[in-house]
């Protein structure tokens, strides 16, 4: 099977797109999707109106995890890869902050894929944010040497909690199309030797994630717990994984709310892109 290096964007990336179209008959677009019956959507803005995001009015909608993860991402001179990019919010925020020269997003859900394409064009970033409609489990073997991978993966195992009847929510929140083990295995295979994998995940599954990551040769370089309130326990955490064992940096806890419905000054700055 051909292997393409995403670190070299001009030639190899174009070959990689052509390979995906031929091998998997996936539809890859850089400009706009074909006309279709538009689902009901709403528009939200970030960074003082610099980033506009259209998302489903009913179905899967991004939460505060998206700007938090975008803020957490390290700066790199190489293109990045987002797995499960949804409507594209994390990638578009990262590009607005100039964290990467370009991002490739992979999205399995047709509706969210089309929204990502629309959002890339609406923000004038269709040349830097390219979206693949496909299944990461099927296509990652054609990729290698990625410097930065990021993902807001499904938080819940199948059979854990109430499964939503809405397919966009079900696939985004539950390990149906992508399990934690599959995510870590695929990322370990395509990550560069000095690359970074950045995730946000439930704090209750921290030990599970770190143990599974270590089993695939990935180790924590940076961890940041996230709390809803200053006096509440963490409910999720941000983690940066790499292939080398080194002391893990423990960043201060990020607190979301200073009171009910009121964000902390730090979170306000993150939402403003400051």
CATH number of the domain within which 18 lies:
3.40.50.150
Task: Check whether 250 has a pLDDT greater than 50.
Answer: yes
Domain that holds residue 177: 4-32+41-272
Contact 240, 212 (CB under 8 A): no
Task: Check whether 26 has a pLDDT greater than 60.
Answer: no
What is the tens place of the pLDDT at every residue in 186-235? 999 999 999 999 999 999 999 999 999 999 999 999 999 999 999 999 99
* pLDDT band with cut points at 50, 70 and 90 for residue 41: confident
- Considering only residues 147 and 32, tell me which one the structure prediction assigns the higher pLDDT: 147
* pLDDT band with cut points at 50, 70 and 90 for residue 174: low
CB neighbours of residue 223 within 10 Å = 16
* pLDDT band with cut points at 50, 70 and 90 for residue 178: confident
CB neighbours of 271 closer than 8 A, spacing ≥ 6? Answer: 46, 47, 64, 67, 263
| Average pLDDT in the chain | 84
End-to-end CA distance of the chain: 43
Measure CA 8 to chain center: 21
Cα 179 from Cα 159, distance rounded (Å): 13
Tell how strand 143-144 and strand 4-5 pair up. Answer: parallel
The pLDDT score that the predictor gives to residue 161 is 66
What is the tens place of the pLDDT at every residue in 49-83? 899 988 776 656 667 899 999 999 999 999 999 99
Cα 116 from Cα 90, distance rounded (Å): 10
Number of domains composing the chain: 1
């Amino acid at each position: 099977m051909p292997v393409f290096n995403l670190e070299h964007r001009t030639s190899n990336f174009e070959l990689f797109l052509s390979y995906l179209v031929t091998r998997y008959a996936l539809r890859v677009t850089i400009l706009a999707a074909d006309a279709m019956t538009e689902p009901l959507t709403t528009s939200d803005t970030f960074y003082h109106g610099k980033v506009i995001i259209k998302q489903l009015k009913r179905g899967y909608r991004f939460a505060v995890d998206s700007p938090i993860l975008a803020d957490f991402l390290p700066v790199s001179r190489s293109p990045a890869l987002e797995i499960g990019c949804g409507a594209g919010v994390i990638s578009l925020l990262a590009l607005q902050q100039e964290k990467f020269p370009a991002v490739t997003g992979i999205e399995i859900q047709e509706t969210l894929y089309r929204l990502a394409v629309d959002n890339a064009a609406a923000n004038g970033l269709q040349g830097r944010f390219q979206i693949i409609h496909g299944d990461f489990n099927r296509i990652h073997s054609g990729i290698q040497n990625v410097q930065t991978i990021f993902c807001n993966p499904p938080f819940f195992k199948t059979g854990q909690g109430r499964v939503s009847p809405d397919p966009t929510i079900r696939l985004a929140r539950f390990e149906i199309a992508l399990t934690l083990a599959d995510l870590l295995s695929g990322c370990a295979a395509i990550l560069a030797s000095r690359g970074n994998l950045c995730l946000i995940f439930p704090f209750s599954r921290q030990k599970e994630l770190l143990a599974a990551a270590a089993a695939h040769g990935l180790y924590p370089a940076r961890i940041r717990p996230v709390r809803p309130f200053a006096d509440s326990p963490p409910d999720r955490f941000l983690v940066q994984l790499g292939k080398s064992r080194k002391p893990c940096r423990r960043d201060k806890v990020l607190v979301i709310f200073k009171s009910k419905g009121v964000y902390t000054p730090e979170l306000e700055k993150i939402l403003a892109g400051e």
